[in-house]
Structure 1
Amino acid sequence: MPNVIVKDNEPIDLAIRRLKRSVERSGLPKELRRREFYEPPSKIKKRRISSSKKRLHKRLSRERLMVKRINRIKVF
């Protein structure tokens, strides 16, 4: 759990800003959104497989683009 120690003579706005930043860095809001509703194991597995396919497709398309750039012939 993120926490912030307020220093002497520090404006409360700065302390709140530091707290918000530490909460965001810890990933707490993302985790809360993910756990808001129950997700059955089959849905979790399906989501992981689809994200894996998406990453693979993205990587392959980047590699194809690089090959096209390398094989390009310069014509003047």
Structure 2
Amino acid sequence: MKENTEPFVAVFDGADREILSAIESVLARENIICTIEGSTVYSVAVPRKDAKRAVDALRDSEKLKDKWHKLFG
């Protein structure tokens, strides 16, 4: 099995479509490509070179303040 070379920067409630949209929007504004996968809990992976910038952008986002999520980094 190939090791995932893209670090996970966040997880969030897979049933919350608003947070999915918010995360995609925040990362798109920063020109960060992401992969979002999951079912009950979704994970967000970005290229290693963008990981810190992605976490910082998500941490600063007002759209995520009252939503269940966990950031890594």
Scaled by the length of structure 1, the TM-score of the pair is 0.27
Scaled by the length of structure 2, the TM-score of the pair is 0.28
Structure with more of its chain in strand, by fraction: 2
